[in-house]
Amino acid sequence: MNRRQLLSLLGISPAALAAPGALAEGPKGPAAGSGKIVTLNPKGTPPPVKLVPMAPRLASLDGKTVFLVDDGFPGADSLLHLIQRWFSQNMPGVTTVYRKKAGAYAEDDPALWKEIKAKGHACIMAIGH
């Protein structure tokens, strides 16, 4: 086991090894004089998770419009077109609308979300990985 792994297991940042001049003055704070090195956790504190409830479920898709949204991941368009074909063959009462989301996966597309809210009842979004 190398020093970096050992320090990681002990919860000490490997940065403590990279700054020998910082330790030349000696330890400061509550551990002063005890021979211990005090470091801060570089991970920080993550923000609290905001829970968002699921959308209400539909009793049936008959007569409804389902948006098929492609986020640009390779192969997503092929999958969504297969889903669109399946709906036309097996559930002809369902209208499907294929849309390509603007921007990258994590980017917002307010115009598309507005259209889905106004005209759609459900959405299938192809997200890669």
Q: Does 57 fall in a domain?
A: no
- Total domains, the chain: 2
* Angle (CA) 49 52 73, round 5°: 90
Burial of 59 (0-12, 13-18, 19+ CB in 10 A): exposed
80 occurs within a structural domain: yes
CA distances, 81 to each of 35, 57, 107 (Å): 66, 24, 23
| The model's pTM | 0.60
Instruction: Please report, in tens digits, the pLDDT of each residue of the chain (129 residues total).
Output: 676 676 666 666 666 556 555 444 555 555 556 778 888 777 778 889 999 998 889 999 999 999 999 998 899 999 999 999 999 999 999 999 999 999 888 889 999 999 999 999 999 999 876
Domain extent at residue 116 = 65-126
Per-residue pLDDT reduced to its tens digit, 45-76: 888 999 999 888 999 999 999 999 999 889 99
**Is the four-CA dihedral 78, 80, 83, 89 of positive or negative sign?**
negative
Say if residue 72 is in the same domain as residue 39.
Answer: no
